[in-house]
Structures are given as structure tokens and as C-alpha cells.
Amino acid sequence: MEYSSPTSLLLCPPIDLIQNVEKDAGSDSSSFVFDSTHHRNQASIPRQFVWPASERSGASNELQAPVVDLDGFFRGDRASTELAAELVRSACTDHGFFQVVNHGVSPSLVADALATAEEFFKLPLVHKLRACRKPRSMWGYTGAHSDRFSSKLPWKETLSFANDGMASQSVIPDYLIANLGTEFHRMGKVYERYCKAMEDLSLSIMELLGISLGVDRSHFREFFSDGSSIMRCNNYPQCQEPELTLGTGPHCDPTSITILLQQGDVDGLEVFTGGGWRLVRPMSGALVVNIGDTFMALSNGRYKSCLHRAVVNRIRERRSLAFFLCPREDRVVRPPGCLVEQGEARKYPDFTWAELFDFTQTQYRADTRTLQTFAQWLLSSNTPSSRRLCSG
């Protein structure tokens, strides 16, 4: 079986190439640089951003997304917890997507996190590239993922941070100061606090997911208590031909769950359900939660990894903040015995997050079939996971 392999483009463009980016936006891909300030004002988009017609955005109806109120759950109210668990169960067996309100994350922290992202993405490209992401790293800046791919590029730029569960609390401020300067200390502190809030919330959601699946409520919380995470700031610039491209292509997140903060007044997120794409409008005070491939494996396929994408806008830019919860790198992903009924086959082989992450970085571009393709690859290769039995 062949796997789509990422094509290396330009890991950290030289300064002279950045300064000459306006010469020929459609030149050879080996010298392509995405400068959001430049490209958003062009009448036509570079060919690297044009997606196949079958994958482009069309008219989408709005999804009436389930909204889970966490207030009663946090207070220990049994009736409220049962209602929340039922809403989660229904959503996750259908499309793997829901929203949470009364989640306990400070509105002022949310505002600060969005504001500091805006400040960063408005910097000139030459300054943003001081934090250029290195190969196979989850740290740093990238424009349109052109460091990994040469076609079907997403119309976006990102800044990412990672936490392996063992890092010191000052790791984000230290990274930003080292790469961008001391004036970014405040930004680092904001994301340090935001990531801590997301970590706490994600563990609570894991507890609620356990309840909804009929598993001991502490099972998944404990499984992820020493886990890792990825924090990604997304910026989707204005695009003069939004009908030809996508901000993020159709995919399922390979991680466990994603907690997404949408900018409050710009549409962009779409979820595939009921045979078509549905728009998820930003909801004041709400955070979007979706199931990823790793948790689908942990639930033995009972909960669906959410298929989603992001579209772009001709008039407005859009920002979002995505927090991805992952297990510890060496922890074996295996569903609890109670989710594998007697005589029921395991849907996926045992694997570690390190194996899945490496697969998505070196073997396969995340899409609609990442987990299935990964499982086939494991079973056909001489990896430790391929030698593990797929029994309950």
C-alpha cells in the first residue's frame, strides 16, 4: 500500500527569498513562501493553494450543535451530570462534535489569548520566521504548512507550542523570548495560563466522556493525567478566491480531543454529518470540543473522530485557538475491557501516541482515513505495535 508522503518545501526561507516573495507568487514550488500580508491582497491565489473541485467548499447549512452546560457537572449535581453525559453520548456516536458552556475558563483569559495571537500574526513575515518551526517539531511558526507539503496548501498560518507533561511551567515564555525577544514575555505568560486552563478543562471532559461511555469516571482522566498536549494558534487571512481553496482540508484530528476557541464573529468551521458539510457558527462563551482518532481507538470505535474542515473568507480574516490533548508518548492506547464485549473484535491494534504522531509527520498527511490507514500500516509493518495482540 502506498502512503501519501509529505514533500519538503522550505524549512526556514532565507531572508533574500522573503524580501523577493512578491516577484512571482506562482514560481517553482521549491522557492514558495506564504506571506499573508502580500497574498491576501492578490487578485488570484498561487496554484499551490488550489484544491481539487471535489474537495472545495460549497454552500453549507448550519449545524444545530449540541451545547453541553458543565455548571451542574462541576457542582456534582447528579441530574445535570446525567444530562450532560447523554448529550455527549449522542453527539459522539453521531459526528464526534459538541460545544461546552460554563466551562470555567476566564473570559478575560480568552480575550487575552486571542489578542496576543492577533499581535503576533500582524508582525512582518521576517519577524515571524524567527520562530520558524523545525522539521518534525510541534514548536513554532509556519505559513501554509509549506515546510511539509507542495500542493493543496491550506490558506492559513500557525504558531504552535507543545507540552510533553514534563516541561517546566516557563517553557512557553522561554521559547518566545529565545526566538522573538524579551518583548514577547507577556505573550508567553498568557499562553502559559491558557494552556493550563485547557489542560484542566480537558481532564474534566475526559471524566465526562468516561461517564458517558459507562466506564469508571476516573479511567480516562487518569489515563491522560500525565499526558502531552499541543497548542496551536491559527490565522486565516482574507482570500480573494475563497471558492478555490480551504483554510484547512477535510481531516480527522489524530489526537484525543480538541478544544477549539473560535473568534467570535467570523464563520469558518464546518463539520461533516448527515451526508453533508454543516457550518458551526461561533457561539458567545462556548468552546468547541471534537473527538480525535486516538480517543476513537480508546472507545473501540464507539465514538466517532470528527471529520471537519475550515473555509476562508474574502472580506474578513479569522483566528482560532486549538488545544489538542494527547496521551504520554509511550502510553499504550487500548480500550478498557468493558468497551470490548465478549466476542467483539478489536477495531484497532494497540499503539502509542509517539507511533501515531510519527506516522502523521513522516508517512501520511492527516485526512479522512488517518486512523484506518495507520492501523493497516501497523499491522503490515514490523513495529512493536504490530506484534501486539488485538484482543480485549
What beta strand segments (E) does the chain contain? 61-62, 67-69, 97-101, 140-143, 157-163, 228-236, 248-252, 257-262, 269-273, 276-279, 287-291, 307-310, 318-326, 332-333, 351-352
Cβ(273)–Cβ(221) under 8 Å?
no
- Cell readout for 326 is 494527547
Cell numbers representing residue 130 in the block: 524567527
CB distance 262 to 310 below 8 Å: no
Over the range 170-191, which residues count as b (16 or more CB within 10 Å of their CB) and which as e? ebbbebbbeebeeebeebbbbb
Residues 6+ positions from 275 with CB-CB distance below 8 Å: none
The cell for 15 is 531572508
Task: Give yes or no: 75 in active site.
Answer: no
What are 251's strand-pairing partners?
A: 308
- Among residues 148, 318, 334, 365, the one annotated as catalytic is 318
Amino acid sitting at position 377: W
Q: What is the DSSP string of 21-43?
A: TTS-TTS-GGG----HHHHTTSS
Which positions are catalytic?
Answer: 318
